[in-house]
Amino acid sequence: MSSAAAVRESTLLDALERHRDHRFRRVPSRRVTGEKSALRFIDEVGFCTGFTAGMDLPCLREAIAGAREPAMPEHIQHDYAIGMAWRIKDALPERRLVYYGKVISGRPGFVSRDLLAAFLKLRVEPGGHRKIYARGGLSQCAKLVMDVLAKRGAAETRVLKLSCGFAQPSRRAEFDRAMRELQEKFLALKVEERYEPFSYVWDTLEHRWPDAIAEARSLTRNQAAYAIVRRYFEIAAYGAERAIARTLGIDGSLIESAARRLEREGILKRGVRIDGHTGPVTLLARFLD
C-alpha cells in the first residue's frame, strides 16, 4: 500500500488513539500521582500542555485524571487534577527539573530538560532582545521589560509595571500581551509565585537557563527539528505536519524536512489518509505493517 493511498481499516484510528491513551497516560493504570511521576511523564513525552486537552499533545491534567479530555468542572478549585497540576507547575520548574511557560500555542506548557535546547534553537531569534526589537520583532513594552530584567535580574510583576511605565490599570492588557509575547519567544519566564500578597516573579532565559542556551548553540536547526519531530511521533503516533508546526511554533519547512528524514529511516509514513480523519497525516510506519 502506498503512503498516499486511503487506508480503509476502520481499526487504524482506534489503534492510534489507544497508543496516545497509553503514552499520554489517559488511562487510570498509568495516571500521574505526584511530583515524581509527573517528572517521569514530562521527561518521557518531552513536551506537553499543562491544562489544555484536545490539542493532539500530551496534557498534564489529562495524565493526572487518567482520562481522555476530562470535563472542566464549574468550580475548578475543587478539581483534583487541576489542583495537582497547579502545584506541579510551581514545584518542578522551581528546581529547574522542567521548563514551564506559555510556549505551546500561547497556552501554559512544559518542556523537558533534554528537549529544551532544541526548542530554544528553533524559537529564540538571534541577536538578543534589542536587535529583535530593532527588527520589529518585539513590542515596545516587551523590550522595556527585558531591559529591566537584563539589568536587575528577577523582578516581581508590580516592579516591572512601575519600571516600564505600565502600572496604570488602562495599560494592563498591553503589559499582559507583552509578558505572553516574551514567554512565546523564550526570552522571559515566570520563576516564582508569591502568595502573600499574590504576585509573579519573572526572569530572563539567560539568567535562568544559561546551560540550555549554551547547548542550543551546539545544535543545527535541522538537528533540533529532528529531535522534536521524532519525539512527537513516538508519543503522539500521528499528526498533520502543518498543524504540528503551528502548535509548536516551528517553521513548517523544518518539520517537513525532519519528517522526510524519518520516512527515509523507515520510522514514519507520510501522506496517509485515514477513514474518520480529515486530510492526509503522517504516522508511525509500524501501524501500517
| Residue recorded with cell 498533520 | 240
pLDDT at site 2: 47
Under the banding of pLDDT at 50, 70 and 90, the label for residue 277 is confident
Using one digit for the tens of pLDDT, what is the confidence trace for 213-245?
999 999 999 999 999 999 999 999 999 999 999
What is the spatial distance between Cα 259 and Cα 264, in angstroms, rounded to a whole number? 9
216-236 residues labelled b (16+ CB within 10 A) or e (exposed): beebeeeebbbbbbbbbbebb
CATH architecture of 121-213: Orthogonal Bundle (1.10)
Please state the pTM of the whole predicted model: 0.91
Under the banding of pLDDT at 50, 70 and 90, the label for residue 7 is very low
Under the banding of pLDDT at 50, 70 and 90, the label for residue 198 is confident
Q: Indicate if the pLDDT at residue 9 is higher than 80.
A: no
pLDDT at site 89: 95
pLDDT at site 49: 97
pLDDT at site 194: 83
Under the banding of pLDDT at 50, 70 and 90, the label for residue 10 is low
pLDDT at site 132: 95
pLDDT at site 186: 96
* Least confident residue range of 19-28, 29-38, 71-80, 201-210: 71-80
* Least confident residue range of 21-35, 96-110, 162-176, 271-285: 271-285
What is the longest distance spanned by two Cα atoms in the chain?
Answer: 63
| Residue recorded with cell 503516533 | 237
- The pLDDT mean for the chain works out to 92
Region(s) of the chain under CATH 1.10.10.10: 121-213
Q: Which of these, 1, 47, 93, lies nearest to 227 by C-alpha position?
A: 47
Q: Indicate if the pLDDT at residue 4 is higher than 60.
A: no
Percent of the chain clearing pLDDT 70 (strictly above)? 96
Q: Indicate if the pLDDT at residue 250 is higher than 70.
A: yes
Q: Indicate if the pLDDT at residue 17 is higher than 80.
A: yes
E strands within 168-226? 188-195, 198-204
Q: Which of these, 27, 31, 79, lies nearest to 51 by C-alpha position?
A: 79
The dihedral over CA atoms of 229, 232, 19, 41, expressed in degrees to the nearest 10, equals: 150
C-alpha distances in angstroms, 38 versus 89, 93, 98, 236? 10, 12, 10, 18
pLDDT at site 6: 45
Higher per-residue pLDDT: 3 or 135: 135
pLDDT at site 279: 85
* Least confident residue range of 31-45, 74-88, 123-137, 160-174: 74-88
pLDDT at site 25: 97
Q: Indicate if the pLDDT at residue 192 is higher than 50.
A: yes
- Whether 283 and 269 have beta carbons less than 8 Å apart is answered as yes
